[in-house]
Amino acid sequence: MEIIKTMGLFVVTALAEIIGCYLPYLWLKEGKPLWLLFPAVISLALFVWLLTLHPQAAGRVYAAYGGVYICVALMWLWGIDAVRPAITDWIGVGICLTGVIVIMFGAQVIKPA
């Protein structure tokens, strides 16, 4: 259950970061309205706050979060940018998510002597 809760929190965190970065991208690269920067700031503040909700050490959380971010970013690529990820993208995601689980939960399973 802890793995599902942790991964869910990481997914929400990744969405907050991606939205917070995507909105300024739309303004800068696609000429969208300036007001998009306001929800971007809110989304990035939410992203930072969500990272603080994990009980593990910050460095461990940041390292593991990166793997989940990669997965969510590829889903964004597919769903929002309408670019279908390649099989090698999904293999990479599998490797990253395996790393996330090892980083976040490995220290609980394997205790140093």
**For residue 15, what is the DSSP state?**
H
Burial class (CB in 10 A: 0-12, 13-18, 19+), 5: exposed
* pLDDT score recorded for residue 113: 62
Band (112; pLDDT cuts 50, 70, 90): low
pLDDT by residue (tens digit) across 33-60?
Answer: 999 999 999 999 999 999 889 877 788 8
Cα distance between residue 17 and residue 43, in whole Å: 7
Residue bearing tokens 């990481």:
10
Q: pTM for the whole thing? A: 0.84
57-103 per-position pLDDT tens digit: 788 888 888 999 999 999 999 999 999 999 999 999 999 999 988 88
Please check whether residue 104 is in contact with residue 4, taking contact to mean a CB–CB distance below 8 angstroms.
no
